[in-house]
A and B are shown apart, each in its own frame.
Chain A
Amino acid sequence: MVQTTITVTVDGTSYTDQVEPRMLLVQYLRETLGKTGTLIGCDTSNCGACTVHLDGVSVKSCTMFAVQADGHEVTTIEGIAGADGLHPMQTAFHENHALQCGFCTPGMIMASIDLLRENPNPDEQMIRDGLEGNLCRCTGYQNIVKAVRSAAETEAAKVELGATIPVGQPS
């Protein structure tokens, strides 16, 4: 098989590998890098379980070849926690019981983070519409929607708090 050399930064580490062009990004993450936190739930881009961030925006890693990620930056569920523990969205999912079997969860969290990046203060319907590309079979979505809303509120509270304390910050 003809292989192509790619260099991809995944969760902050740069990797150079030989891959077959037909290898999907999700297969590269799982099989070559052992990043099995990202999961595969369908063949048709419907379920969103494989959602990762490509250069900061959400994409379905089952609908992209690894070669297309050459030179780009990928973030997975395994790369979002800060040094101090969990990403706020991970915390929100935990605190709101927004997961049951957990299979949709990595994709759902990655999609939710991107949703708030684009719209930091979404209402319920915006959250629901923003997650239309991710299927969950356990939760009925109710607590997922609550989790995203609560993450948004937590972040807003932080920003508000932050705005009142520092002096002379560039605006």
Chain B
Amino acid sequence: MTITEIGASRLRKEDQRLITGRTRYTDNMVLPGMLHIALVRSPFAHARITAINVDEAKRAPGVIMVLTGKDVADEQGGIPSAWPVTPDQKAPPYLPIAVEHVAYAGEIVACVIGRTAAAARDALELIDVDYDDLPPVLDLEEAMTDTVLSHPDLGTNLSATWIFDSAAAGTGTDVAQALASSEVVIERTYYQQRLIPAFMEPRSTVVDPTGEQLTMWSATQVPHILKLMISLALSIPESKVRVVAPDVGGGFGGKLAVTAEEFITLLAARRTGKPCKYTETRTESLMGAHHGRAQVQRIRLSATKEGIVTGLDVNLLADMGAYLGVITSGIPILGAFMYNGIYKFPAYRFECNNLFTNKAPTGAYRGAGRPEATFAIERAMDDLAAELDMDPVELRRKNWIKHEEFPFTTVAGLEYDSGNYEAATDKALKEFGYDELRAEQKLRRQSGDRVQLGIGVSTYTEMCGLAPSRVLGSLDYAAGGWEHAQVRVLPTGAIEVVTGISPHGQGHETSFSQIVADRLGVPFDNVEVLHGDTQVAQRGLDTYGSRSLVVGGMAVVAAADKVIEKAKTVAAHLLEASRDDIEFTAGAFGVKGTDQSMTLGEIAFAVFSAHNMPDGFEPSLDSDATFDPVNFNFPHGTHLCAMEVDTETGAVTLRKYVCVDDIGNVINPLLVDGQIHGGLVQGISQALFEEAVYDESGTLVTGSFVDYLVPSAADLPMFTTDRTVTPALTNTLGVKGVGEAGTIASTPAIVNGVLDAVRHLGVDDILMPCTPSRVWNALRDAAQGGGRHRSPDPSSTKPDLDPAGGN
């Protein structure tokens, strides 16, 4: 097989429609007689609904129907949680339309169906809802005390407590003992602020109830999961539901969801018998779509004086928000296996308390659990280095798994198959100019420069390619982690690849075409990748968790290999040779030692006409394959950044960013770089810009892009991205996931860099996002107090919100 496509920077196939506006985002769809939905949302974080008056709205011009929770109580089902992390996990019912109780500001309380979007929107004003407001639970530490309840009927805010203990699991020793007997213990509390995925395309759903099947188009990452959940939750036979994810404008985990809005659109379509559309506004998206992160991480890291880490204890408070979405409860658990990072200390304990609050439900956001874990360990390593007065890179070097030690079973019980942390780090240091920048830093410190320089370091690894089904089973997740593909050979020799993943910007139409073009020896342009429609791709588990290539791509490889095997049988028959003598090279099946051969296209046409097939041969080359990975894969890398801190204003500037990632073999370098760039910015943005803030009454203050700060091009520099290549040993392509890598590493790198710039001035911690005002306040407090400025509690540093002035 000659490989020409894999490794080539092929320009993307999917671009043509996207750059010319020939797109099919859900909101672009119009169907005959289509009705429009607008939703009444609770302005209160926590309240009982005492009355809803919809009479006037029903009479309003252009209004077809108004639905309240009571109207649909018998048919609306509930949003399912697919992840009971413990057998006794507690959860309130998550109703698409609230009936008696609302538990976050933005929760849906009524639905208007109108002939136009304007008519539906106008009628919202005519609906009167009476609320008795209840005290909201907004703070995780308070939630843990159960003094105020987010769901009084539940009796507690605690959904579940999940524990991993290396001594109990047999993967390591006892952490209490390690902490008690170590020379140095770093004790820290890190705060993962609440983030909003903020995909650019607001969510939109269209449901067509006409015909035999309900067809739902939705801006989702997970059409297959959605179809299954709709069937289960609404008791609709699975065969009567078709879900289509057309062009989807970004997800980042935010569209890994089964949403109230999707259920409501379906109910509306069923009730009215007409196609219905719901498209959220950005304000609705920010308050209503699930959020991410939102954890308090209490960390104890022990080590010897020489800097050899001996143990790690993690105690986590994780904010579920008001309800459990489809995988809400599992997000912190995904991080549990990553707190040890690339290091090989012997003792580890992880305890996570999943807590309900009166805020928007949380869920997957780029990295989902793993960025939080990486942040904690990489921050703690820097804090330890500072404590021991060691270079942070040297400290990491002392503790990481050496390349000759792979495969390595970690203290969290995962088997890392391959990696080379030394190579990636050495390359990064060199490209960054580490020594030169350290020298400049020293000079600036000595001269008391107004602008101080900090160097941020972060390494990472992550478990990618969700997931081996057996592992998911052991974690009590309801589904498996396999992926399906079909390779169809058309009579003309053109190839259709059907995949169960559901890309929304990643470029899989291109990268999967490259894989198949190589495998089958056909031109890249002869391959069409089909996805995102459960009627076309009947089986699949969709796109998230850096799984598409490493799981979905492997399914494609397996299906293509089956095509080759079938074609060999036909070739042997038509060329009158023994099957053993058929060799497949560059798209042609030849008979060993002769010049006789047939192309795949010729065989395809012969199979299509089926005039002369081997006895018993089913005339089709089409092949299916389902791939269940045997293990995760473990990309890793070293990220370095130079941060400038203006000590006068607290302004932070990212001056230089160098990352060297090892994602194994690369199918398309162009796409890989793109994934890294985008991932970096989301991680940087957590460190510097973004935070979903609620006021003391539980109203989302950052309810538009005016206040929820997503950076523009003007706020960022160019990045230097490079790679080392240590192929994964757990799949035959040797590939690893890349979608989340940039995000995971960049947040701790940036914060470490900011702190490195000001640590000598007495500042040990700054909350994320490291805003100028927080940096300045930390510097001022350190200067005034003389002591160390450590782990500020976010509740004590939140400013009074008084836009009208006054002090």
In the bound complex, do residue B719 and residue A137 qualify as a contact, i.e. CB atoms below 8 Å apart? Answer: no
Whether A138 pairs with B678 at a CB distance below 8 angstroms is yes
- Closest chain A CB from B717 CB (angstroms): 9
Bound Cα distance A139, B252 (Å):
12
* Stretch in A40-48, A63-71, A150-158, A159-167 touching the partner: A40-48
By a CB distance below 8 angstroms, the chain A residues around B505 are 100-102, 138
Determine if B705 and A42 form an interchain contact, defined as CB atoms under 8 angstroms apart.
yes
The B1-56 residues at the A interface (CB cut-off 8 A) are 11-12, 14-23, 25, 27-28, 30
In the docked arrangement, what's the CA distance between A97 and B505, Å? 11
Q: Are B19 and A141 in contact (CB under 8 A)?
A: no
**Roughly how many angstroms separate A127 CA and B11 CA in the complex, as a whole number?**
23
Interface stretch, picked from B194-202, B566-574, B771-779, is B194-202
- In the complex, the chain A residue whose C-beta lies closest to that of B746 is A140
Neighbour of A43 across the interface among B30, B200, B281, B713, CB < 8 A: B281
A100 to B14, CA, bound (A): 9
Which residues of chain B have C-beta atoms less than 8 A from A127's C-beta? 713
| Cα distance A106–B23 in the bound complex, in angstroms | 10
Residue A22 is within 8 A (CB to CB) of chain B in the complex: yes
Q: Smallest CB–CB gap between B654 and chain A, Å?
A: 12
* Contacting pair B249 A102 (CB below 8 A): yes
Q: Chain A residues with Cβ under 8 A from B719's Cβ?
A: 140, 142
B507 beta carbon closer than 8 Å to chain A: yes
Closest chain A residue, CB of each to CB of B671: A97
Give min CB distance, B596 to chain A, whole Å: 42
B704 at the A interface (CB under 8 A): yes
Rounded to whole Å, the gap between the CB of B116 and the closest CB of chain A is 9
Given contacts A44-B705, A139-B674, A142-B677, contact A100 B250 (CB under 8 A): yes
Q: A41-B200, A97-B670, A145-B713 are in contact. Are A135 and B11 (CB under 8 A)?
A: no
- Taking a contact as CB atoms under 8 Å apart, the answer to whether B677 and A101 are in contact is no
Whether A137 touches B704, Cβ cut-off 8 Å, given contacts A20-B118, A39-B201, is: no
Residues of B within 8 A of A81 (CB): 20
Whether B674 and A143, one on each chain, are in contact in the complex, defined by CB atoms closer than 8 angstroms, is yes
User: How distant is the Cα of A83 from the Cα of B601 in the complex, in angstroms?
Assistant: 35
Q: Is the CB of B15 within 8 A of A39?
A: no
A78 pairs with B706, CB closer than 8 A:
no
CB pair A36 B705 closer than 8 Å? no
Q: A132 to B20, Cβ gap below 8 A?
A: no
Residue among B19, B247, B682 facing the most chain A CB atoms (10 A cut-off): B19
Q: List, in ascending order, chain B residues with CB within 8 A of A124's CB.
A: 718
**Segment of A2-10, A53-61, A86-94 in the binding face:** A86-94
Q: Is B283 an interface residue (CB 8 A)?
A: yes
Task: Confirm or deny: B444 has a beta carbon within 8 angstroms of a beta carbon on chain A.
Answer: no
A47 to B505 CA separation, bound complex (whole angstroms):
18
| A128 close to chain B: CB less than 8 A | yes
Q: Does B166 contact A (CB under 8 A)?
A: no
- In the assembled complex, which residues on chain B have CB atoms less than 8 Å from the CB atom of A135? 200, 705, 710, 712
Query: Is A49 on the interface with B (CB-CB < 8 A)?
Result: yes
Q: Which of B16, B202, B506, B706 contacts A40 (CB 8 A)?
A: B202
A105, B504: Cα distance in complex, Å: 14
22 CB < 8 A contacts A-B: A35-B21, A39-B201, A41-B200, A41-B202, A41-B249, A42-B704, A42-B705, A43-B282, A76-B21, A90-B19, A93-B19, A97-B12, A97-B673, A128-B713, A136-B713, A137-B252, A141-B681, A141-B712, A143-B673, A143-B674, A143-B677, A144-B713
Known: A99-B19, A141-B677, A142-B677. 4 other contacts (CB 8 A): A20-B118, A40-B27, A97-B670, A137-B200
Hey, which bits of chain A sit against chain B, CB under 8 A? 20, 22, 30, 34-44, 46-47, 49, 76-78, 81, 86, 90, 93-95, 97, 99-106, 109, 124, 127-129, 131-145
